[in-house]
Amino acid sequence: MVDTGKNISDLKAGEKTDGFYLIKSFDVKKTTNGKQYIDIDLVDKTGEINAKIWEYSEEKEALVAGSSIVKVRGEVLEWNGSKQLKVNKIRPASETDSVKISELIPSAPVDKEEMFHEVKSYMNKIKDTEIRILVDTIISKYSSKLYYYPAAKKNHHSYMGGLLYHMMRMLQSGEKLGQVYDFLNMDYVYAGVILLDICKILEMDSDEYGVVSDYTMEGKLLGHIIQGIKEIEIEGEKLGISREKSVVLQHMVLSHHYEPEFGSPKKPMTPEAELLHFLDIIDARMFDFQHAVEGVQPGHFTDKIWLLDNRNLYRTTN
């Protein structure tokens, strides 16, 4: 394996870096005084960092637009509590560098086949035949993409296989909570978790490495919640499942963001829908906490984490 340079997770403010990174996305923006610059999101197996090329040129824009892997030399800064890379030099990786995309792609920590098998095992625990067939039908439509799709363009589980990993961990958590709150209808809990974000596959345009180039037209205009409701409605009608079961599952998808400003016009109105919201929140938050504290030594605090309300997290010593 080629030495690709310092890992993103190890970068510290005030340091210099010289390494190979994968371009996740980029945009040409303007400063407040109208000066153009290139804004880039760089990733490797360990994380993601925002980078800026302040000295804009058409040649640099063409270089970024035409390259997947680049070698970057720059300075690590801190801006609004987050690490940022000021790019001093950048060039495309060449064949002689022998750097492979697979060496830089961040991915879920569990094998994709193992995750998919685990999700299918929970689907098979759904006792209601109509609900199980509906879930199986929808999963079967998107199974090939589910292996590599991320759960987001940015933020939690935004890497190859992230959507499947997020789904698996919510199912595992839901099962344990179902043992405590034994009045819950676990058919709806399992089905809700599996269908919750499945239409992120329609919302985002991702390549086989889990890198999202953009949101789709329908994703921008509707979003995965509305797309997910449509999917349940259409497939449910084709299968002729009970209207109540279809509407209850649609409601679970509709309400899982909890607030109108986050895309949910209704709050959860069933206990299973309420649980689904918190399963989603818990797994997203634990992902953010885990990745934040992994970057510091025991007994130390992290930098401010914007996603977590600018909190400085502490890593305990034991």
Q: What tens digit of pLDDT does each residue of 185-214 get?
A: 999 999 999 999 999 999 999 988 888 888
Q: Mark whether 186 and 62 lie in a shared domain.
A: no
82: β partners: 79
Do 138 and 195 contact (CB within 8 A), yes or no? Answer: yes
Q: Are residues 39 and 119 in the same domain?
A: no
- Please spell the DSSP secondary structure of 246-266, one letter per residue: HHHHHHHHHHTT-SGGGT-SS
Domain-located, residue 303: no
Mean pLDDT for the chain overall = 90
Inter-CA distances, 92 with 12, 61, 171, Å:
24, 12, 41
Indicate the pairing of strand 47-53 with strand 36-44: antiparallel
Residues 21 and 83 in one domain: yes
Would residue 305 count as lying in a domain?
A: no
Closest by CA position to 159, among listed 307, 291, 300, 310: 291
- Contact between 253 and 276 (Cβ < 8 Å): no
Note whether 281 and 142 are same-domain residues. Answer: yes
Tell me: do 131 and 264 sit in the same domain: yes
The answer as to whether 236 is a domain residue is: yes
| 156 found inside a domain | yes
* Phi/psi-derived region of residue 240, left when phi > 0, alpha when psi is between -120 and 50, beta in every other case: left
- The pLDDT score that the predictor gives to residue 194 is 97
User: Domain count of the chain?
Assistant: 2
The structure's pTM equals 0.80
Does 50 lie in the same domain as 143?
no
Structure confidence by residue, pLDDT tens digits, 94-153: 888 888 777 788 888 899 999 999 999 999 999 999 999 999 999 999 999 999 999 988
Report the phi/psi class of residue 260: left, alpha or beta, with left for phi > 0 and alpha for psi in -120 to 50.
alpha
Residue 1 pLDDT > 50:
no
Whether 62 and 149 map to the same domain: the answer is: no
Per the model's pLDDT, the better-predicted residue between 103 and 77 turns out to be: 77
**DSSP conformation class of 154:** S
pLDDT digits (tens, 9 = 90+) for 13-50: 888 988 899 888 889 999 999 999 999 989 888 888 88
Q: Which domain holds residue 97?
A: 8-103
Comparing CA positions, the residue from 312, 287, 295 lying closest to residue 109 is: 287
Q: Residue 180 burial by CB count (10 A; 0-12/13-18/19+): exposed, middle or buried?
A: exposed
Is position 177 within any domain?
A: yes
